[in-house]
């Protein structure tokens, strides 16, 4: 099968190695001419995914038309702030029968759309699906065992994606809950910032466990209010992705939070991480969605104050711990 990869960052290159290893005809596009030149010369992304060598059959190009031409599947792997502009760029070359699989994570701040909604709004004729879960590029690129979930409103599309991406180290489940999968992937980045801040403050495992547990509670409340399913948030793209993003050394969101916890501003943290930190872009959108759907999200609200209102991470922790007393699950009642 011919596949076009739109984006040549660490995740794009990891998926390129996976898909070419599965025997597919892969073309990778990037807007960055220097990046494509490096990939063509070394068959390896020297800065973002060193050590993962790409097969000679893979083509690298700066031509969107070349990447899209005759591809059965297009994989959208650009950072969330560039999803809309990339969708506009590829729109003239996308055919009705092509499938676009979004593997980026985030919420568009201005529109509050999920990324598949953004793509669909720019390319109404496209069949848009999502692939998400606990899947760091550094590990997938090195063929470490990984499980993810493919979401589509059409079962046959989800099964096609499953068949295309499945490998002996990469297991793909399927689901019809596209909105739930996307919200889990986007909102976990905001909670990971909080987990990183706790690490930066020198807090322990108890704190991390509390943030993960209460974080998935917030994500689930909003996700269900927006039409997602409870089972999704208890699955790979919910609690699974949240755990790995809060705990891993590979997590740019956790690492940025760590620097903020040590006293840096979010802008200083972003400069030091040197990669797109999706949680910063999703934090405001998550806050606006919580107000729109009248859902309590105290961790998200407090993280917004740290990022954009100069609240110190240490004070943020105190605020969260000193909130009004409440039950853990308000749906549970005494007889």
Residues with a catalytic annotation lie at: 188
User: What Å distances lie between residue 153 and 135, 162, 277, 281, 335, CA to CA?
Assistant: 22, 14, 29, 27, 41
Residue 133 backbone phi and psi in degrees, to 5: 145, 180
3-state secondary structure the chain: CEEEEECCCHHHHHHHHHHHHCCCEEEEECCCHHHHHHHHHHCCECCCECCCCCCCCCEEECCHHHHHCCCCEEEECCCHHHHHHHHHHHHHHCCCCCEEEECCCCECCCCCCEHHHHHHHHCCCCEEEEEECCCCHHHHCCCCCEEEEEECCCHHHHHHHHHHHCECCEEEEEECCHHHHHHHHHHHHHHHHHHHHHHHCCCCHHHHHHHHHHHHHHHHHHHHHCCCCHHHHCCHHHHHHHHHHHHCCCCHHHHHHHHHHCCCCHHHHHHHHCCCCHHHHHHHHHHHHHHHCCCCCHHHHHHHHHHHCCCCHHHHHHHHHCCCCCCCCCCCCCC
């Amino acid at each position: 099968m011919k596949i076009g990869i739109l984006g040549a960052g660490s995740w794009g290159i990891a998926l390129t190695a996976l898909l070419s290893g599965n025997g597919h005809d892969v073309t990778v596009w990037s807007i960055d001419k220097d990046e494509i030149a490096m990939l063509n010369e070394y068959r390896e992304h020297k800065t973002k995914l060193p050590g993962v060598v790409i097969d000679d059959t893979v083509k690298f190009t700066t031509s969107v038309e070349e990447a899209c031409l005759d591809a059965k599947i297009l994989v959208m792997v650009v950072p969330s702030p560039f999803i809309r502009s990339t969708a506009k760029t590829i729109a003239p070359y996308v055919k009705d029968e092509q499938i676009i699989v979004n593997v980026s994570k985030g919420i568009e701040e201005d529109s509050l759309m999920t990324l598949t909604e953004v793509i669909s709004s720019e390319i109404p004729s496209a069949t848009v699906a999502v692939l998400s879960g606990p899947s760091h590029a550094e590990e997938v690129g090195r063929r470490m065992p990984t499980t993810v979930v493919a979401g589509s409103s059409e079962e046959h599309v989800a099964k096609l994606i499953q068949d295309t991406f499945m490998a002996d180290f990469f297991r793909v489940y399927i689901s019809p809950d596209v909105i739930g999968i996307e919200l889990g992937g986007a909102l976990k980045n905001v909670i990971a910032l909080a987990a990183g801040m706790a690490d930066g403050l020198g807090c322990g495992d108890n704190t991390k466990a509390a943030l993960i547990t209460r974080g998935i509670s917030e994500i689930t409340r909003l996700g269900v209010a927006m039409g997602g399913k409870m089972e999704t948030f208890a699955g790979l793209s919910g609690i699974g992705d949240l755990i790995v993003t809060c705990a891993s050394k590979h997590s740019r969101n956790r690492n940025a939070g760590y620097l903020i916890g040590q006293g840096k501003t979010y802008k200083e943290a972003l400069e030091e991480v040197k990669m797109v930190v999706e949680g910063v872009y999703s934090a405001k959108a998550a806050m606006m969605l919580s107000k729109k759907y009248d859902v309590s999200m105290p961790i998200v609200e407090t993280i917004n104050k740290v990022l954009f209102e100069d609240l110190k991470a240490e004070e943020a922790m105190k605020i969260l711990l000193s909130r009004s007393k409440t039950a853990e699950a308000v749906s549970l009642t005494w007889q």
